[in-house]
Copies of this chain bind each other. A is one copy, B any other.
Amino acid sequence: MRPKIYLFGDSITEESFGDGGWGASLANHFSRTVDVVLRGYSGYNTRWALKVVDRVFPEAESSGAAAPLAVTVFFGANDACLPDRYGAFQHVPLDEYKRNLHSIVASLKKRWPSTLILLITPPPIDEVQRIRYPYVENPLGLPERTNEAAGAFAKACVETAGECGISVVDLWTRMQHYPDWRNAFLKDGLHLTQEGNKVVFEEVMKKLNEGGLSLNNLAIDLPILSDIDHVDPLKAFQQ
């Protein structure tokens, strides 16, 4: 049975198998070694994610041999909705966000002690685009998310990773290293362009590699073409 990597998160995970998406890129990279399993839930915050974590990862898939190699946990963009704008029902206070993330990580670590758990912070926010592309009618004309709020949640996410002793991709900080991050990486001020997806893919790959997950040390499923003898190909398929 092939090992798995689960991608657990909100819409930025759910749409990660779109054209050039970071999830599809992971699946493509690990095409003969790992099943990359999509568990993205658009709009979810950590409060809702914590409610469903046991249903997302049911007991039947939790036994020893089936423990995944890694799980990415990518929440915070919805928690960081401002409490007095149209996304208020998705907002989670910062201290609860940290507690929820701790609980999600603890739940995963309890069932799979040796699985690499990788937190990903929310991306930065471009407020100009968020006003231009509102998700619902927005008569106030104010953004429902700000970059400052996203930054506070990103910082809390990085702190949580440190407290749990696990890896983290600080996407909020990483993306803002590029001068044109707003237009290069964000297609509506929140969701990612193909270039933005590429940043997530590359950062996740770095952390997986640092955690010992690379094509160099994963078993390849069935003989690869270059190992098949041209004179006696079936030799490769004797068990």
Contact = CB atoms under 8 A, between A and B. Distances in A.
A41 B1 CA distance: 16
Nearest to A51: B237
Which of A17, A55, A61 has the most chain B CB within a 10 Å cutoff?
A: A17
A15 interface: yes
Q: How many copies does the complex hold?
A: 2
A233 B61 contact: no
A222 interface: yes
A114 to B, nearest CB: 21
Contact of A17 (B24, B51, B90, B221): B24
Given A43-B225, A56-B222, A234 B51 contact: yes
Interface in A11-36: 14-15, 17-21, 23-25, 27-28, 31-32, 35
Interface in A35-86: 35, 37-44, 47-48, 51-52, 55-56, 58, 60-61
A138 to B, nearest CB: 15
Contact of A37 (B35, B224, B230): B35
A28 B14 CA distance: 8
A235 B26 CA distance: 35
Contact of A24 (B24, B41, B48, B194): B24
Contacts of A21: 24, 28
Interface residues of A, number: 49
A222 B20 contact: no
A37 B30 CA distance: 12
B89 A233 contact: yes
19 contacts: A14-B32, A15-B31, A17-B31, A19-B19, A24-B24, A24-B28, A32-B40, A35-B38, A42-B224, A42-B225, A43-B225, A44-B225, A48-B228, A48-B234, A51-B237, A52-B237, A55-B239, A88-B230, A89-B231
Given A1-B60, A17-B25, A51-B237, 6 more contacts: A15-B28, A17-B31, A32-B41, A44-B225, A52-B222, A89-B233
